[in-house]
Amino acid sequence: MTENQSHSKDAWVDEKDFFREATLRLCSSLDVERALFQCLVYIQEYIPAGRMGFHVYHREAGVVETIAHATPEQYEAVSMKIPLSARGRKQVEEQRLDRVRVIERLGEDPITGPVADRLQAWDRSAVVMDLVLEKTMLGVFSVFNNGRENFSPRHVHLLSLLVKPCAIALTNALRFRELKNLKERLADDNRYFQEELNRMSGETLVGTGQGLKEVMDMVLQVAPLESPVLLLGETGTGKEVIANAIHNLSLRKEGPFIRVNCGAIAPSLLDSELFGYEKGAFTGAVTRKRGRIERAQGGTLFLDEIGELTAGAQVRLLRVLQEKEIDRVGGSETVKVNIRIIAATHRDLEKMMAEGTFRPDLFFRLRVFPIAIPPLRERKTDIPDLVRHFIQKKSGEMKRNNIPTPSSGAMERLLNYHWPGNIRELENAVERSLILDRGSHLLFKEITTQGKEAPALPEIDPSPALAENLELDRVMSSHIIRVLDMCRGRVEGDKGAARILNIHPSTLRKRMKKLNIPFGRKKI
């Protein structure tokens, strides 16, 4: 189309026809970028338009977001956020609304300059219209020229007729986008929570009237409050089950219960897992992802193995506790969070604090209400109930029609064993016996080969020599060597030390290397 043709059509186009046809195209699709394209194809017959776009200003962040734009060749839905300078923010926040204005050179304007720079339209002119409905500023509609012709007063007048239809189209687009985001978020949450429910199904608190009575008394005291809780105890004592009980007895029981194993996440992935990330934050970030902290909104965040957190993650977690806010990786907006934190560890945090590997300010923030969970060897009265519970649970998982019971001598062996792996080891022992013993009684024969009950611990002498022998690494090293001796040096397999200790073979090897325990089979 030539310049003369454009001017000749501009001279005779009827305003009502222009308004009707342009409005029909703006309302032709729920995808606002497609609607913009249809409208542009029509109005460029009468107006020298080369590009159209919808933009929204986020006052708190001082950011202009382009949500859709179209050219005669293509259209695209985007979320292009461009921060304004201090001058640009001041101008956009102080200017009078409900305006239609012409900007002769986009790059020289403090508001449009950053957007024009990103769109490579520095030298273009544009008609920019504020979109206002019911005295509420929704955003801006921009029409860039085609790079050859300037906008005449007639062109500006025709475009001004589209202010209300554009405002309605932008409102519908923003609501539709929000609805899609909510739908994706609900679907994501549903998948996540379903996996969590499947994993946690069948976990029951056993021993509340016996070995865990004191623990449960403390749980009942703190559950209705918002205070952080720190659970202390050996590996396998059921810290997650206690944390779940606190959540279920709290005012947040209708909210999510999100578990994070701080020791199982690689340091390089910790920030994105905990705090989430924005689209494009790094290679592979093709969509926005909410982190575990944000997923716990309105509920409880359980940080298992808190002692494994890196120094950087400790600083960011402290901010969550103090300020109740996070920043997603690659994001420019602060996200407020409403969560309760329950932390757990088997490590000596006070010793780590003295060594400088755990922050004192974080320690005292978490240690508002500590609960020490006793190991299984100190609550042996719970063993019969736990055995019955695990037999029922594992028999159901194995689809066994008959529910077996321990043989007459088996329960005595179970009570006399010292259970270094605590409840987790007992659960594995039940499962192993259900596999080996297919009759009506479980024999637990392997318990005898794993060692008898540990002798009673002597009264602790505060002398330095004895204190050195009670260091965690020394105790752990001694126990691993003992189990390796029983397994003839075998690390993995059904008869390996890793199976008995209930840890992955590679994890056991790493721990052996750290403790200077030699590899390979050992002749005895």
pLDDT(1) > 80: no
Asked whether the CA dihedral 90, 95, 99, 104 is positive or negative, the reply is negative
Roughly what angle, to the nearest 10 degrees, separates helices 213-222 and 239-248? 40
Instruction: Say what the pTM is.
Output: 0.53
pLDDT(234) > 80: yes
Between 462 and 246, whose confidence is greater?
246
Q: What is the pLDDT of residues 303-317, one digit of tens each?
A: 999 998 888 889 989
Asked whether the CA dihedral 380, 386, 387, 390 is positive or negative, the reply is negative
The average pLDDT across 161-182 equals 87
Q: Give me the pLDDT at residue 397, please.
A: 85
Q: How confident is the model at residue 190 (pLDDT cuts 50, 70, 90)?
A: low
Q: How confident is the model at residue 79 (pLDDT cuts 50, 70, 90)?
A: confident
DSSP annotation of 277 reads: B
* Greatest mean pLDDT among 112-121, 145-154, 483-492: 145-154
Between 16 and 502, whose confidence is greater?
16
Asked whether the CA dihedral 150, 153, 156, 161 is positive or negative, the reply is negative
Q: Is residue 299 a contact partner of residue 339, using CB atoms and an 8 Å limit?
A: yes
User: 250: number of CA atoms within 13 Å, CB side?
Assistant: 28
CATH architecture for residues 461-524: Orthogonal Bundle (1.10)
DSSP annotation of 256 reads: -
Unique residue bearing structure tokens 């994105």: 272
Q: What is the pLDDT of residues 470-522, one digit of tens each?
A: 567 778 888 888 888 778 788 887 778 888 887 888 788 888 888 888 766 44
| Residue-averaged pLDDT of the chain | 82
pLDDT > 70 fraction of the chain, expressed in percent and rounded: 88
Distance of CA 446 to the CA centre of its chain: 41
Distance, in Å, from the CA atom of 252 to the CA atom of 85, rounded to the nearest integer, reads 42
Q: Is residue 293 a contact partner of residue 301, using CB atoms and an 8 Å limit?
A: yes
Q: Is residue 58 a contact partner of residue 198, using CB atoms and an 8 Å limit?
A: no
Q: Give me the pLDDT at residue 192, please.
A: 66
What are all long-range contacts of 16-25, with beta carbons under 8 Å and residues at least 24 apart?
18/43, 18/46, 18/158, 18/161, 19/161, 19/162, 19/165, 22/161, 22/162, 22/165, 23/162, 23/165
Distance of CA 520 to the CA centre of its chain: 40
Distance, in Å, from the CA atom of 288 to the CA atom of 17, rounded to the nearest integer, reads 42
Roughly what angle, to the nearest 10 degrees, separates helices 422-436 and 383-398? 50
pLDDT(456) > 60: no
The average pLDDT across 385-405 equals 88
Q: Give me the pLDDT at residue 230, please.
A: 95
Task: Tell me the two tokens of residue 109.
Answer: 């304007």
In the chain, CATH 3.30.450.40 sits at 3-177
In the chain, CATH 3.40.50.300 sits at 207-372
Q: Give, in words, the CATH class of 3-177.
A: alpha beta
Q: Is residue 115 a contact partner of residue 64, using CB atoms and an 8 Å limit?
A: yes
Sequential DSSP letters for 46-77: TS-EEEEEEEEEETTTTEEEEEEEE-SS-EEE
pLDDT(228) > 90: yes
Q: Give me the pLDDT at residue 211, please.
A: 73
Q: Give me the pLDDT at residue 227, please.
A: 93
Distance, in Å, from the CA atom of 507 to the CA atom of 519, rounded to the nearest integer, reads 13
Distance, in Å, from the CA atom of 63 to the CA atom of 84, rounded to the nearest integer, reads 6
CATH architecture for residues 207-372: 3-Layer(aba) Sandwich (3.40)
In the chain, CATH 1.10.10 sits at 461-524
In the chain, CATH 1.10.8.60 sits at 378-456
Distance, in Å, from the CA atom of 519 to the CA atom of 383, rounded to the nearest integer, reads 34
Q: Which of 39-53, 137-151, 319-333, 469-483 has the lowest mean pLDDT?
A: 469-483
The fold adopted by the segment(s) 378-456 is Helicase, Ruva Protein; domain 3 (1.10.8)
Roughly what angle, to the nearest 10 degrees, separates helices 163-200 and 15-26? 10
Distance, in Å, from the CA atom of 380 to the CA atom of 54, rounded to the nearest integer, reads 69
User: 32: number of CA atoms within 13 Å, CB side?
Assistant: 25
The average pLDDT across 393-408 equals 86
Q: How far apart are the first and last CA of the chain?
A: 95
Q: Which of 52-66, 93-107, 204-218, 463-477 has the lowest mean pLDDT?
A: 463-477
Q: How confident is the model at residue 455 (pLDDT cuts 50, 70, 90)?
A: very low
